[in-house]
Amino acid sequence: MTVDELRREALRLDHAQRAKLARDLLESLDDLSESEIEQLWLQEAVRRQDAIAAGEVETIPADEVLAQARARRR
């Protein structure tokens, strides 16, 4: 089963089952070494960079994000 197939199946679960699965998956990451965690973050950074380069996501300038965050705090 591929990750995409697994994701599709997991999304068919009800909210409580998905929450439990998410909790279990997150807890399973607690045993990773620092180098494994660093590698996962590097892979995520590359994935995000590729998504931006492919035009799959919209970027927002930092000053706009900060202005929105400040406005919400008021």
pLDDT per residue as tens digits for the range 50-65? 999 999 999 999 999 9
- Please state the length of the chain: 74
Q: Output the six-digit token pair for 28.
A: 């399973």
- Quote the CA–CA distance of 25 and 28 in Å, as a whole number: 5
pLDDT per residue as tens digits for the range 17-36? 999 999 999 999 888 899 99
Q: Which residue, chain included where needed, has tokens 């931006």?
A: 52
Give the residue extent of every domain in the chain. Answer: 3-73
pTM (predicted TM-score): 0.53
